[in-house]
Amino acid sequence: MEYNYKISINYDGGRYEGWQRQKGRLTIQETLEDCIGNICGEKIKVIASGRTDAGVHALEQTANFHAKVKLKKEQFLRECNEKLPEDIRIMTMETVDAKFHSRYDAVEKTYCYTIDLRERPNVFTRRYAYSVREELNVQEMERAAELLTGIHDFRSFTSEKRKEKDTVRNLKSIVMVNTNQYLKLYFRGDGFLYHMVRILAGTLIEIGLGKKIVEEIPEIFQAKNRFRAGFMAPAHGLMLVEVIYETKE
């Protein structure tokens, strides 16, 4: 008999080459698989809701793995978190239906991109916020956000090179929270393309700086050309906040 386990993880992605296992590189997936595999006494494959880039963080990444051993929740969490490095933590674990798949069953994700607005950036948050010292026109950024939300072909907002790949997504909302010290951009959607959130963030920053204008947004969509959108904002300002799954009665 095989069991399917769902886990939620948070991690500081600063020293990792992203989620996906890569030969000769330190990754989140490899670190988790090695740890959980040692506890289970078998080879384990941990499947995430999505692959985060090198340097990207997660407040709540969701993943699942199959194992032949029946695990006790509290014991498993304690053993894992004792063995894992301090920048990765498994927060919850539960046994789920054998068919549950953390990637294919996800219906919505939220990412947050954090911008430090201060002239002298905070030393203690420099690894989690991108510093923009010039004044941003947040009102123009909010106007642009309205045009970016909805169901669109986001080909101009991805580094994905495969032209046959479906690039239509539903970006349900972009919410901006301005504390005068930080500007947080929350992107909520049914799924995101490769580098999509970072390119959206970069485009909004360029609009805030006056390097692009809101009226360009429809043209950027129509062009379906990566070079028409803004720059790709640095990875360290991005965090996966939440993954939502349908509640099955």
pLDDT tens readout for residues 12-61: 999 999 999 998 899 999 999 999 999 999 999 999 999 999 999 999 99
Residue 146 lies in a domain: yes
Whether 238 and 124 share a structural domain: yes
Sequence-distant (≥ 6) Cβ neighbours of residue 66 within 8 angstroms: 2, 3, 4, 5, 44, 45, 98
- Arithmetic mean of pLDDT, 157-182: 91
**Structure tokens belonging to residue 132:** 């923009």
Same-domain check for residues 74 and 116: no
For residues 84 and 176, state if they share a domain: no
Q: Is 79 domain-assigned?
A: yes
Report the CATH number that the domain containing residue 54 is assigned in CATH.
3.30.70.580
Report yes or no on 64 lying in a domain: yes
The boundaries of the domain holding residue 187 are 107-245
Please check whether residues 149 and 232 belong to one and the same domain: yes
Task: Indicate whether 249 pLDDT > 70.
Answer: no
Residues 17 and 96: their CA atoms lie apart, in Å, by: 29
Last residue of a domain, one of 68, 96, 124: 96
My answer on whether 138 and 44 are in the same domain is no
Q: What is the pLDDT of residue 248?
A: 52
Q: Which of 12, 53, 105, 116 does the annotation list as catalytic?
A: 53
Res 2: pLDDT: 94
pLDDT at 164: 67
Q: Are residues 89 and 13 in the same domain?
A: yes
Which of these three, 96, 123, 142, is where a domain ends?
96
Task: Give the integer Cα–Cα distance in Å for 157 and 168.
Answer: 11
What pLDDT, on the 0 to 100 scale, is given for residue 83? Answer: 97
pLDDT tens, 107-163?
Answer: 999 999 999 999 998 999 999 999 999 999 999 999 999 999 999 999 999 998 877
Is 105 part of the annotated catalytic residue set? no
Q: pTM of the prediction?
A: 0.94
150 and 88 in one domain?
no
Residue 102 within any structural domain of the chain: no
Distance between CA atoms of residues 34 and 39, nearest Å: 9
Among 198, 204, 205, CA closest to 234: 198
Do residues 89 and 179 share a domain?
no
Find the CATH number of the domain harbouring 196. 3.30.70.660
Q: What mean pLDDT is reported for the chain?
A: 95
Distance between alpha carbon 176 and the CA centroid of its chain, in Å?
Answer: 17
Residue 125 and residue 205 in one domain = yes
Model pLDDT, residue 165: 83
Q: Is residue 205 part of a domain?
A: yes
Domain stop point among 63, 96, 129: 96
Residues 173, 119 share a domain: yes
**Residues 58 and 126 occupy one common structural domain:** no
My answer on whether 11 and 42 are in the same domain is yes
Distances (CA, A) of 80 to 87, 91, 155: 13, 10, 39
Into how many domains does the chain fold?
2
